[in-house]
């Protein structure tokens, strides 16, 4: 079974709302604030007519949801995928609000997406789709309103088209409208590996508080894209052993460790890890059930569920993807004594360095890569221990503690600002 096949299409918005409702009860959230946070500030659906290479007109559907702006402008990625829908985008926007609050950067959450299959589209078709989509978003995005970024099936090249299209509409260059763009037009050094690097920092701290040495720790990674690949490479550099990897083509397992550098080179050339001669072929279900110290689900949402959570044999689950564990799946993991580092903390490295890129773009003052990485480590380590301390105070798991911390920070901003009018 592939990563894609293992991702159940459950309603992630129901899961996101359930998390918020449970948190509201734990922290005694004011009913008015709770009601406001259950609804996004703005949700836009647009049609994207695109002339395809064969001459016919394809009309795609795109979404942009802005969940909350009380702590600052919205921030969140844009994904291109056949499964995109409004509920998914709304849930992801809500999780972005919590993610930004957990690491204490001055953003609210947003998310966008287009229903399409970019694997069956030419570069020219993707560019035309992107530019038309951005043209529909011009009135609601901007450096002080909403700053998009890459997500599933989007990359720095697409963000460059986004920045250029927005700038052409404004009549001058606006680098700070988007993050994750090429270095040549205002991107930040260190951004490409930021999410994976952030996961490494929190995984290292989680191993430490669990009394497990990083050196020699056995690691399993589901997903081998920008996030999973960077994480695997960096955790190996710290001395851990990556024993299994999977992507859309399937999984590979080697009990003595996979050669990550060689695997990255192979995947870059072949686009998938299928056919790599360095490990045994395994299914996605088998990968999730491997005995290991750290399991990092870094693909799509809803891969650890009530149906398979009891088969997970990891000591720690560090969520690299957004929403990889359903609420029922999470409760099973916790009841079995598995330490879970939630997505809104674990994968916040990407939005953190996006914040750095935005700051650099506004100031027109750019940092060296070692400064970016050092600042990222400071923020991620501090955020991990903020959440860990809150979990000990509450006597709760790390997800409940992260949600409590995030919702409290957003609620404080709402109460400070009041309700208009």
For the record, the structure tokens of 62 come out as 């795109």
Per-residue pLDDT tens over the stretch 39-77 = 999 999 999 999 999 999 999 999 999 999 999 999 999
Q: How many residues does the chain have?
A: 421
φ/ψ of 139, rounded to 5, equals: -75, -15
CA-angle at 122, arms to 120 and 125, nearest 5°? 105
d(Cα 388, Cα 383) in Å, to the nearest integer? Answer: 8
Domain boundaries, the chain: 40-185, 194-346
Per-residue pLDDT tens over the stretch 299-317 = 877 899 999 999 999 999 9
Q: Is 111 among the residues known to form the active site?
A: yes
Same-fold call for 40-185 versus 194-346: yes
Tell which CATH classification among 3.40.50.10860, 3.40.50.2300, 3.40.190.10, 3.10.150.10 matches the domain 40-185.
3.40.50.10860
Statement: the pTM of the whole predicted model exceeds 0.85:
yes
153 φ/ψ sector (left φ>0, alpha ψ -120 to 50, else beta): left
DSSP H stretches of helix in 277-397: 284-288, 327-335, 343-346, 349-363, 369-394
Q: What is the pLDDT along the chain (421 residues), one digit of tens a residue?
A: 333 333 344 588 998 899 999 999 999 999 999 999 999 999 999 999 999 999 999 999 999 999 999 999 999 999 999 999 999 999 999 999 999 999 999 999 999 999 999 999 999 999 999 999 999 999 999 999 999 999 889 999 999 999 999 999 999 999 999 999 999 999 999 999 999 999 999 999 999 999 999 999 999 999 998 899 999 999 999 999 999 999 989 999 999 999 999 999 999 999 899 999 989 999 999 999 999 999 999 987 789 999 999 999 999 999 999 889 988 999 999 999 999 999 999 999 999 999 999 999 999 999 999 999 999 999 999 999 999 999 999 999 999 999 999 999 999 999 999 999 8
Do 260 and 220 form a contact (C-beta atoms < 8 A)? Answer: no
Strands (E), 237-301: 241-247, 250-253, 280-282, 291-297
Whether the bond between 421 and the residue before it is cis, its omega within 30 degrees of 0, is yes
**Catalytic residue chosen out of the listed positions 111, 181, 193, 315:** 111
Do 57 and 49 form a contact (C-beta atoms < 8 A)? Answer: yes
Per-residue pLDDT tens over the stretch 225-265 = 889 999 999 999 999 999 999 998 999 999 999 999 999 99
Superfamily holding 194-346:
NAD(P)-binding Rossmann-like Domain (3.40.50.720)
């Amino acid at each position: 079974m592939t990563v894609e096949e293992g991702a159940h299409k459950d309603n992630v918005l129901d899961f996101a709302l359930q998390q918020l409702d449970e948190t509201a009860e734990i922290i005694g959230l004011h009913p008015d604030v709770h009601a406001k946070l259950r609804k996004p500030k703005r949700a836009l659906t647009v049609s994207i007519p695109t002339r395809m290479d064969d001459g016919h007109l394809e009309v795609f559907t795109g979404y942009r949801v802005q969940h909350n702006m009380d702590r600052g402008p919205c921030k969140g990625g844009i994904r291109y995928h056949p499964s995109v829908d409004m509920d998914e985008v709304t849930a992801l926007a809500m999780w972005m609000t919590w993610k930004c609050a957990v690491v204490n950067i001055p953003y609210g959450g947003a998310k966008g997406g287009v229903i399409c299959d970019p694997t069956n589209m030419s570069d020219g078709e993707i560019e035309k789709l992107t530019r038309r989509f951005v043209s529909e978003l011009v009135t609601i995005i901007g450096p002080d309103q909403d700053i998009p970024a890459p997500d599933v099936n989007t990359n720095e090249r697409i963000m460059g088209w986004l920045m250029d299209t927005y700038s052409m509409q404004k009549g001058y260059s606006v680098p700070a409208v988007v993050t994750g763009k090429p270095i040549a037009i205002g991107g930040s050094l260190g951004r490409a590996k930021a999410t994976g690097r952030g996961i490494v920092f929190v995984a290292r701290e989680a191993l430490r508080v669990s009394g497990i040495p990083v050196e020699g720790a056995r690691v399993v990674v589901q997903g081998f894209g920008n996030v999973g690949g960077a994480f695997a490479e960096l955790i190996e550099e710290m001395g851990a052993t990556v024993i299994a990897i999977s992507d859309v083509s399937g999984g590979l397992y080697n009990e003595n460790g996979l050669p990550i550098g060689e695997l990255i080179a192979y995947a870059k050339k072949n686009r998938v890890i299928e056919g790599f001669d360095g490990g045994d072929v395994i299914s996605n279900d088998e990968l999730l059930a491997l005995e290991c110290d750290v399991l990092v689900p870094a693909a799509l949402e809803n891969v650890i569920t009530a149906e398979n959570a009891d088969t997970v044999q990891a000591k720690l689950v560090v969520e690299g993807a957004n929403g990889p564990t359903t609420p029922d799946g999470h409760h099973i993991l916790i009841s079995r004594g598995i330490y879970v580092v939630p997505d809104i903390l674990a994968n916040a490295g990407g939005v953190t360095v996006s914040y750095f890129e935005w700051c650099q773009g506004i100031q027109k003052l750019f940092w060296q890569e070692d400064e970016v990485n050092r600042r990222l480590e400071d923020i991620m380590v501090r955020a991990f221990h903020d959440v860990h301390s809150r979990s000990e105070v509450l006597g709760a798991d790390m997800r409940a503690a992260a949600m409590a911390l995030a919702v409290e920070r957003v609620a404080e901003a709402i109460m400070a600002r009041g309700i208009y009018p």
